[in-house]
A and B are shown apart, each in its own frame.
Chain A
Amino acid sequence: MADTTPTQRGAVSLEKGGVIASSRQKEFRRALQSLTTSRWALIGMLILLVVSFVAIFGPWLAPFDPNRQNIMMRLLEPGQTGAADLTYWLGSDQLGRDVLSRLLYGARVSLLVGVAAIAVGGTLGTVAGLVSGYFGGWIDDVIMRLGDIQLAFPFILLAIMFLVVLGPGLVNIILVLGIGQWITYARIVRAQTLSLREKEYVEAARAMGDSTFSILFRTILPNIVAPLTVIASFNVAGVILSEAALSFLGLGVPPDVPTWGSMLSESRDHLLSNKWWMAVFPGLAIVFTVLAFNIIGDWLRDFLDPRLKENS
């Protein structure tokens, strides 16, 4: 049997491909079914779709330029009509900028920061966790102690310390928030790698002479993607909250980029004069987006590991 012809081998791999494809289809169908039967998950997905749609098409949906100041139209209440018969549906801010337009543009920044920071932190943490778990020894010790040191800081303080020196900016905030997350991924990936490296199929890959790189990224990594997606989903929610808090403190993106956090920061000075719309709408946008990611995270966790199911 060892002497298979190329055609036979091709047939075997085709057949194997077919099996994988059909099992993937099955898994996808199961996910879809679980999603449609869970009311919460459906709501979360719907919110996420709306926010993503707004983030992509915001500039076309916005009735005004989000940065156009019009001092004559400042602090208009929601629904009031300004010049050229254009309605400020969610009111205007202290510089006469349209709250709705800024909100629509802000979705882009929130999602971008959330996803990009997770990409940075997830990649760093995964590589560190794989190396730490696979090689063990002093490399493992060094990486994990570094993580302990980072966890010794309440994260927001660490972010404040770096951003005060580096200065606010989109790239800086993504890097700081991303680097702040690496240890979460590293710990999970390390734990999984520790148990996986003893499995037969990893030993088989080693025996077949696969390179360490290939073992780490082609053999081990695909088997730990599931828990990573769950953490990533919760993490996006956490990162969006942190970004809002840092923008609120004036350490987020530059003032000409509208973000939900900085809109809330600006609303502070107008609370006493009861300009509630400046605070209510950006806050609701954050709450719904974070809620959606939290719900999806819950659903993913239950779907991938029904033993952990919490909300039966």
Chain B
Amino acid sequence: MWIFLARRLLQSIVVLIGVTLVSFVSLQMGGDPTYLFVSENASFEEIARARKALGFDRPLHVQYLSYIWNALQGDFGNSLSYRQPAMDVVLESMPATIELTFFSLVLAIGLSIPLGIYAALNRGKPVDGGIMTFAMLGQSIPNFWMGIMMILFFGLYLRWFPISGHVAFLEPLFEGDLATAFSNLPHSIYYMIMPAIAVGTYTLARNARLIRSSMLEVLEQDFVRTARSKGISERRVIMYHAMRNAWLPVVTMIGLEFGFLLGGVVVVETVFSYPGIGRLVFNAINQRDIPVVQASVILLAIIFILLNLIVDIIYARLDPRVKL
């Protein structure tokens, strides 16, 4: 167990170094990065001064080492538009994004398991066809367009849901104000329903298909036949024997899904003017606020790597065939 953990941790560190290297290289790809940090009509003297101040006049390897050193301390420079440390700006937007990503993950996984199993148990029947058609469509609809369509129909036409905004749940929770956090929760969910559906539909559709085919495979295996032949009720066979094995592939995917959902959130937040990291990145792109874009991307990558590490450990615990 400890050897596995140490090895996985080491791998994650190597990947993290790679992540910083990639983001450093991306900065250098457009030529002299100084131009990204000064206004368009800056004079030569101002550019030269900025180059020196930002350290872009030093050799590349020195720049990279100091980049890593600063990154380790969470220092990505000052935001060009907010005039405060980029990481602080990003961290402020983080809780809202985590709320939305987590909620869409719960929604997607929570619905895909019963849908996939139901389709598998009714293989070939119209209901199976219906679920699979829905799944196929769900994998073909761009999440941001789905958001726009929901705004038009459920927001503006039926007026069932708010088309923008957010009620904080995690922020008061982190501050220890439990009463506010939990009184906010229903409103928070109400505001998140449309964005979460937009973000989660793709994952829901893909997982429903994955669970269906995994369940079909498991149902044909010997241990299920043995369980049935022992006279165990069909319900128990499905709930205890088949399901436990059928959702393993889903657990493996959860870490990756979270990363995928984070990517989706970035785009969908802009549609719903949701005050998370996605809208921040969108605005930073438009204002060419490079430190904020870099800090956001790296922070999201770190979360993604850590989650995958945790998922690997959970997976190894769930499936005894995987040796720790």
- Which of A's residues lie within 8 Å of B, judged by CB? 145-146, 148-150, 152-158, 160-162, 164-167, 237, 241, 244-245, 248-251, 261, 264, 267-268, 271-272, 274, 276, 279-280, 283, 286-288, 290-291, 294-295, 298, 310-312
Which residues of the partner chain A approach B300 to less than 8 Å between Cβ atoms? 154, 157
User: Contacts A149-B15, A166-B30, A283-B149 hold; do A161 and B140 have CB atoms under 8 A apart?
Assistant: no
Q: Which of A150, A164, A294 has a CB less than 8 Å from the CB of B293? A: A164
Q: Which of A157, A279, A290 has a CB less than 8 Å from the CB of B148? A: A279
* Closest chain A residue to B17, Cβ basis: A149
Measured CB to CB, the closest approach of chain B to A186, in angstroms, equals: 16
Whether B263 lies near A291 (C-beta < 8 A) is no
Whether B145 lies near A295 (C-beta < 8 A) is no
Which residues of the partner chain A approach B14 to less than 8 Å between Cβ atoms? 145, 149
Whether B30 lies near A167 (C-beta < 8 A) is yes
B18 contacts partner chain A, Cβ-Cβ < 8 Å: yes
User: Contacts A166-B30, A283-B142, A294-B139 hold; do A154 and B156 have CB atoms under 8 A apart?
Assistant: no
What are 11 A-to-B residue pairs whose CB atoms are below 8 Å? A149-B18, A152-B301, A152-B305, A154-B300, A155-B263, A160-B293, A249-B267, A268-B148, A283-B145, A286-B145, A294-B136
Whether A276 lies near B30 (C-beta < 8 A) is no
Which residues of the partner chain A approach B144 to less than 8 Å between Cβ atoms? 244-245, 248, 264
Q: Which of B123, B124, B270, B290 has a CB less than 8 Å from the CB of A249? A: B270
User: Contacts A156-B267, A165-B290 hold; do A251 and B285 have CB atoms under 8 A apart?
Assistant: yes
Would you list the 4 A-B pairs with minimal beta carbon distance, nearest first? A149-B18, A154-B263, A156-B263, A283-B145
Measured CB to CB, the closest approach of chain A to B89, in angstroms, equals: 16
> In which size bucket is the chain B interface?
35 or more
Which residues of the partner chain A approach B15 to less than 8 Å between Cβ atoms? 148-149, 152
Contact mask for chain B residues 5-20; partner A; CB cutoff 8 A; 1 contact, 0 none: 0000001001110110
A146 to B33: give the CA distance in the assembly, Å. Answer: 24
Which residues of the partner chain A approach B156 to less than 8 Å between Cβ atoms? 271-272, 274
Q: Which of A153, A167, A248 has a CB less than 8 Å from the CB of B22? A: A153
- Tell me which residues from 245 to 273 in chain B have a Cβ below 8 Å from any Cβ of chain A: 259-260, 262-264, 266-267, 270-271
Whether B297 lies near A157 (C-beta < 8 A) is yes
A176 to B229: give the CA distance in the assembly, Å. Answer: 55
A156 to B143: give the CA distance in the assembly, Å. Answer: 13
Whether B148 lies near A264 (C-beta < 8 A) is yes
Whether B140 lies near A244 (C-beta < 8 A) is no
Q: Which of B149, B285, B308 has a CB less than 8 Å from the CB of A279? A: B149
Measured CB to CB, the closest approach of chain B to A309, in angstroms, equals: 10
User: Contacts A157-B266, A283-B142 hold; do A310 and B209 have CB atoms under 8 A apart?
Assistant: yes
B228 contacts partner chain A, Cβ-Cβ < 8 Å: no
A99 to B262: give the CA distance in the assembly, Å. Answer: 32
Which residues of the partner chain A approach B304 to less than 8 Å between Cβ atoms? 152-154
Which residues of the partner chain A approach B259 to less than 8 Å between Cβ atoms? 153-154
A298 to B136: give the CA distance in the assembly, Å. Answer: 10
B60 contacts partner chain A, Cβ-Cβ < 8 Å: no
A249 to B264: give the CA distance in the assembly, Å. Answer: 12
B213 contacts partner chain A, Cβ-Cβ < 8 Å: yes
Measured CB to CB, the closest approach of chain B to A279, in angstroms, equals: 5
B50 contacts partner chain A, Cβ-Cβ < 8 Å: no
Measured CB to CB, the closest approach of chain A to B146, in angstroms, equals: 8
Which residues of the partner chain B approach A244 to less than 8 Å between Cβ atoms? 142, 144-145
A304 to B222: give the CA distance in the assembly, Å. Answer: 27
Q: Which of B124, B143, B152, B294 has a CB less than 8 Å from the CB of A276? A: B152
18 further A-B contacts with Cβ under 8 Å, apart from A237-B139, A244-B145, A279-B145, are A148-B15, A155-B263, A156-B266, A157-B300, A160-B266, A160-B285, A162-B29, A166-B29, A244-B144, A245-B144, A249-B282, A264-B142, A271-B151, A283-B141, A287-B142, A290-B141, A294-B139, A298-B136
Which residues of the partner chain A approach B260 to less than 8 Å between Cβ atoms? 154
